[in-house]
Structure 1
């Protein structure tokens, strides 16, 4: 590389020298047109200097890329020394997720195939095999299965969304810190925003980003048409929600009108059990549950009061949400919304893909893209009240390497290669998840079939990060969920719910920050 650079310098210097020599020749030779000719030479000199600077910049860029590739190649060579000379390296992966996210497992198989091609090109007679399974499994069942496997020393090498969060796995000593591997193979993440992969907890990185999930507020266009809305009004609803003009108070009124007219059975549905979408109205108020400056969990009593008041109104005042909503079966939730029996749904981007791959519709079965675009609209979550902010959570989901793995670095490489743009495009389109690699947006399948994701990408500047790097977050979730369940059932008032949360949080969570 250095020799090539020297050659470029020499050639350019020679050309510049010839031009300068020619200019001197003209200067010492008297001629009436010398001024014009000298100006022409100066212009050519400046043009050449500009091209030289451009060449030098491109060379530096190429040199930087070469150095990155060389670093990864050397890292791979050092890894080879840990392989058996011949034979098979066997890995196992357990992947959880929504029904349309099977590519989480499929892409690990493809990642292993790609790694095998690399190893073969290096002359190694070693093969990596991976048994990757995908399940749409309840959280508690996943936790029990993983715990049993760990205790039997039969845990998988790789997991994703399988019962425990990355923070919990790190706290339990089950996860492998990945900082060293990110340093060695940084070229694999060159087009991944740093904020997507550098999610630190206790000073270390624990995940390989596999996708980004964005929460989405859905509404039935066909029901709004039956209510007498014009197409112009329907098409304007998302924008009005996104700019804060239409708030949750307005949404509850629209939902009640639809119920009063007998057009829907319920006005608003939210998810079953605890989860990110339930906390968005709190963040809309400017609240937060984690203070990055102190590393402590935090709650605001005034914002909690407004938060619980919203759900109290939904279930007990406007009565547009079932009081037992939080215990409602998932299939009933999706079936009711997909068949137009519910007007609004507090969901996520992945549901758009799920509805087109699971037979929820009682006539169509799986929704067609045409039906979805014609009858279902989407936006950010509405502002909790006037003056609050519309928004949503965006959170990366990632593979975690477990510390019982005999080949953690190989597992890391398989997971990293599983997220390359061509593979990631399949997962994003099928599962309706945002990509982590910038290059994925240029893959033909994403370009042709990723219209929904492209629209969501325009809203990400109004979202909040869902990453919660605190070991006691699950305890706070349990406390919040207990209070919310009782509020929706009409068992306690919003103020009683605040008191319950504060009392339990003080007693059960270490050094939690409680404000106003």
Structure 2
């Protein structure tokens, strides 16, 4: 459990921390940081480590120590190339000292010996790490050990075009109450389909543009599984759960969206820039994305009046068995297993310092991600951001994360293949759901629960 993993460090580790600082007078350190899923608005995933290094060197100077730290960073805008690079570099024993990746990599990477538990190098019972939200620490925990430090958090959102809603006759009260109606379950995914179909029928939105889902695989689609009552893992046993009824409901919803003509059967695979341009221009009636997309739409795609043009809610429930929900996908700072012990000590201390509320707030505000601690929400720079404050109160309390199960990738791959098959009409929703169940059961055997 969490209380077991957040243990106080031994005197031996404290001595090691001190020895590195004192010994640094005769040695320079180069700390490398690789970060996946990192674009122009999320540079502080690396820059925060550079700021921490500057602070650590200033502290050493005041103590009279001659400590020199050079931070070298490399960012990948996507995930597949980054994860392949990190894995291959680890196997070649020249991995970066710090990796920034999704929390779901902790399971397979720790079992493969690619990373080392950061709890051996930092104090989670002292500031600033003791201020991080416990549920975020849980996402960095696997097999009762804390392997990483959360770097950011977010919520995934259903966005709505306010001008389009107004054009089909929605009142201001109806628009403002939408978030509460979605949260309570009064407004469902099928109500959404009816709404965007009306937008198209009345010529407010172009045919096939009523609904703009994510254009590629990602954690977002697990929200729709939950909307139809699906559970990703059993909270008691930790085993993965394949709920064929929830999969049928989810697949059937997207097949129905295609049948209604509010999204194309070829939508998956659309270029991301095309999707962003349509979202920012209000060409979709509704679309789902992440809290961080707001910064991209404003900075790169010309969205001028977010709060005037866009309403935002949880992902609606699909049935009475489901729930309105949002998935958070925290990125985490991880320590490579190929670094020397001294490099890992320095790297871990830099990660802890970079997690200070005022430093992490730079990333949150620039990238429109949510803060990692309550203290961060009180930083004036963060608190002054209307979007972060609103998302933190309306969306964040309803988020959950995908499980840190090393077999989850098998389920995830099968789920998305089933989604593609039912979306394009290659399979019926029932056939696709059964194929997922059969595939996952064959691969994982007794490690999965079928419902």
State which of 262, 266, 271 in structure 2 corresponds to 1:324. 266
Contact 1:267 1:342 in 2 (8 A): yes
Tell me the SS of whatever aligns to 1:273.
coil
User: Structure with the greater relative contact order (CA < 8 A, sep ≥ 6): 1 or 2?
Assistant: 2
CA distance in 1, matches of 2:199, 2:298: 26
Contact 1:394 1:463 in 2 (8 A): no
Partner of 1:304: 247
Q: Which runs of 5+ in 1 are unaligned?
A: 1-66
Partner of 1:125: 66
Q: 1:375 to 1:95 in 2, by over 3 A?
A: same
Contact 1:72 1:187 in 2 (8 A): no
Contact 1:392 1:462 in 2 (8 A): no
Q: 1:373 to 1:464 in 2, by over 3 A?
A: closer
Tell me the SS of whatever aligns to 2:268.
helix
Partner of 1:30: none
Corresponding position: 1:384 with 2:384 = no
Contact 1:298 1:512 in 2 (8 A): no
Deviation at 1:231, TM superposition (A): 2.3
* Residues 322-361 of structure 1 aligned to structure 2 (within 5 Å): 322-358=264-300, 360=301
Deviates more, 1:232-241 or 1:85-94: 232-241
Contact 2:119 2:145 in 1 (8 A): yes
Larger-Rg structure? 1
Q: 1:184 to 1:304 in 2, by over 3 A?
A: closer
Partner of 1:279: 222
TM-score normalised over the length of structure 1:
0.79
Corresponding position: 1:503 with 2:449 = no
Tell me the SS of whatever aligns to 2:95.
coil
Corresponding position: 1:414 with 2:350 = yes
CA distance in 1, matches of 2:103, 2:235: 25
Deviation at 1:75, TM superposition (A): 6.6
Corresponding position: 1:180 with 2:120 = yes
Q: 1:391 to 1:162 in 2, by over 3 A?
A: closer
Kindly provide the CA deviation profile for residues 271-329 of structure 1, in whole angstroms up to 9, marking residues without a partner as x. 122211101121123321212322221111222222221111112x2221221222221
Kindly provide the CA deviation profile for residues 184-233 of structure 1, in whole angstroms up to 9, marking residues without a partner as x. 77333122223322432123211111111211110111121222323232
CA distance in 1, matches of 2:102, 2:315: 27
Q: 1:147 to 1:75 in 2, by over 3 A?
A: closer
CA distance in 2, matches of 1:509, 1:275: 22
Contact 2:151 2:332 in 1 (8 A): yes
Contact 2:358 2:379 in 1 (8 A): yes
CA distance in 2, matches of 1:249, 1:193: 34
Partner of 2:5: none
**Cα-Cα RMSD:** 2.4
Contact 2:123 2:129 in 1 (8 A): no
Contact 1:270 1:278 in 2 (8 A): no
Contact 2:227 2:323 in 1 (8 A): yes
Corresponding position: 1:241 with 2:182 = yes
Corresponding position: 1:465 with 2:400 = yes
Corresponding position: 1:189 with 2:132 = no
Partner of 2:3: none
Contact 1:213 1:434 in 2 (8 A): yes
Q: 1:164 to 1:277 in 2, by over 3 A?
A: closer
TM-score normalised over the length of structure 2:
0.90
* Residues 470-509 of structure 1 aligned to structure 2 (within 5 Å): 470-509=405-444
Deviation at 1:425, TM superposition (A): 1.2
Tell me the SS of whatever aligns to 1:256.
helix
Q: Which runs of 5+ in 2 are unaligned?
A: 1-7
Partner of 1:33: none
Contact 2:230 2:322 in 1 (8 A): no
